[in-house]
A and B are shown apart, each in its own frame.
Chain A
C-alpha cells in the first residue's frame, strides 16, 4: 500500500531542495518502500476518536513583553556568511517570484 515511485522520490528531493544522483534516488526509492510499510503501522490504531498530540506539554499563552533587546552587531550577524557585501548577505541570483 505504501510505495513511492522513483519520480515521487525525485519530487520530494525537489521540494526538500536536495540534488540527488540517479544512484541515490534508486537507493532511496527501495528503502522508502520498506520504511513506509513499517511506519504505516500507526494507521492501525489512529482512529478518528483519538485526539492528536502535537506537543508533549499542555501549555498555552506563552508570550514575551513587547520590549526591544539589543540585536547582534552586523559583524556578528554576517560572521558566518559565505559571502557578504555592503553589510548584506550576498546570495546567488534568485529565480523566483518578484517580491
Chain B
C-alpha cells in the first residue's frame, strides 16, 4: 500500500463527517431507578432490581434527566418535540441486563439544531455550522472486566466479570447531520465541534464531560467522496475516541486509510472501528456475519414525554450565555491577549476570574492572581483550583487591599497562602500572622539611611542623576523591612533623601 500524505488525500477527495456524541448526565440517580451514579464505587453496590433487570422490575423516568436533555436541545438550537417516546432497542449483550436498551427511535425529544464552531484556517478564523439531527435519551451499560488472556482485552479472555453500577446511568446521544464542506479542515472542525459541545454541556451543568472517565464519548463517522462528485462514499464509524486530540487524529487517520483503499481500487467496508490511542490508527471491530436487527418498538413500561411549552420556555429563559460568545465578550471587556485568554480557559479559571472581577477587582490583577500564584499553589498541592479553600471574594479583597496600599504584592502572596492553608479570610490571616505594611515614614527613613550608608557608591550614582540605580537600593530597603513596606513610598522617600524628588 502506498503511503499517502494528507495533501495527497485532499488533492482528490472531499471528506464528509458525521459525529455522534454520548454524554453521561450528572444526575444524582440513574435514568430509570433511584440508584446512585457516583463514579468509582465498589462493584455492584449501586444496583437494584430495575437496573439489574430482575424479573418484574419496572423503569420510572428521572425528571432531571428529561430537563437536562431539553436544556441540551435548547442550547444546540433544536426544536423540542411536543411529544416523544422511549423505544426498546433489542439486542443481546451481557453488559446490558435487560438485553434491550431503553432509547428513543423515531420520536426523539430534540431535533434539527446547529452549533457554530470557529477554527483557525490559512485565511484566518473561519466559522463552520454543524447541523444537529437529533438529541435523544437512553441509558448506559454495565462495565466488563475481561479476565485471562494476555492483554486484558476482550479477545482471548477466558471469562468476564460484570459490574452493573454504570448500567442505567442517563445518557444523551447527540447526532449531527452529515457535515460536508469542511475540506482539509475536517479533523480540526471535528475537534472544535466536540470541544464546543463540551463547553456548552459544562456551562449547562448537566454533565461532568470528562472524556477520560467516559462521561463524554465520541464516535466519528468518516467517508470520502471524489471532489466534484455528489455521491457519498462508504463510511466507517470509529469508536473509543476518548480525547479531543484523538478526535482530530482519528478523523485524519480514517481519511488517509480510506483514500489508500480507494486509490488501490478497494472498497471501504461499512464497519465499526476502534481508535488506538497509542498508534493513532483504528482497528476493525469484530465484523458480524449478519446485520443486527434491533426490532425497535415503543417501550410499553413507560408513557410518552410531552413537555409543555411553559416548561420549555422557563428552561430556555434560564439558558447560560453560549461559552464561545462569552469568551469573546470577556476577552474584549478585559482586553486580554489571545495567549492569556487561552491560558485561562485551559486552567479553567474563567468563571472564577469573572466572579472576582464582578466583585470589583481589576481584570488584569484578578487574572494574574488566579492564573499565577493560585494556580501554582494548586499545582503544588496537586489539586484542582476549585478545590482550594480560596474564593473569588477573598481574591477581590486582597486585590483591593493591595490597591489601597494596605498590602504589598509580597505580603499579598502570604495572605493568599494563608487563606489556602485554611487560616480563614484575608482579614483573619492578616491579623493572625501579624502582616502589615510598614508605613511609618520614620522607620522607613531609618532603613533608607542605613542602606545608603552601606551602599554609598550606588547612592552616589543616584545622587548624580542615574535613577535606574535606585532599584537596587529600594530592593535593599524592602529586604530590610522584611517586605512589609510599600515599595512606592520607599521610592518616593529614597529619591527625596538623595535629592532627586
Contacts and interface: CB of A to CB of B under 8 A. Distances in A.
A and B pair up: yes
Interface in A64-81: 64-74, 77-78, 80
A91 B162 contact: yes
A85 B93 CA distance: 19
A89 B95 CA distance: 10
Interface residues of A, number: 41
Contacts of B290: 11, 14
Contacts of B305: 60-61
A83 to B, nearest CB: 8
B457 interface: no
Contacts of A98: 153-155, 240, 274, 285-286
A59 B290 CA distance: 38
Given A66-B65, A67-B28, A67-B29, A93 B35 contact: no
B276 to A, nearest CB: 11
Interface string A85-99: 111111111111111
A66 B161 contact: no
Contact of A91 (B35, B46, B62, B94): B94
A61 B95 contact: no
A62 interface: yes
Contacts of A96: 93, 154, 286
Given A55-B303, A67-B28, A90 B159 contact: yes
A66 B28 contact: yes
Interface in B261-297: 272, 274, 285-286, 290, 293, 295, 297
Contacts of A73: 45
A94 B63 CA distance: 35
Contacts of A47: none
Nearest to B54: A80
Nearest to B283: A98
B49 interface: yes
16 contacts: A17-B92, A57-B303, A62-B60, A62-B303, A63-B63, A64-B61, A68-B28, A73-B45, A74-B42, A80-B54, A86-B43, A89-B161, A93-B146, A93-B160, A94-B154, A99-B141
Given A15-B295, A69-B35, A74-B43, 15 more contacts: A61-B306, A64-B34, A67-B28, A69-B29, A71-B36, A71-B47, A74-B42, A78-B44, A80-B54, A88-B44, A90-B159, A90-B160, A90-B161, A94-B93, A98-B155
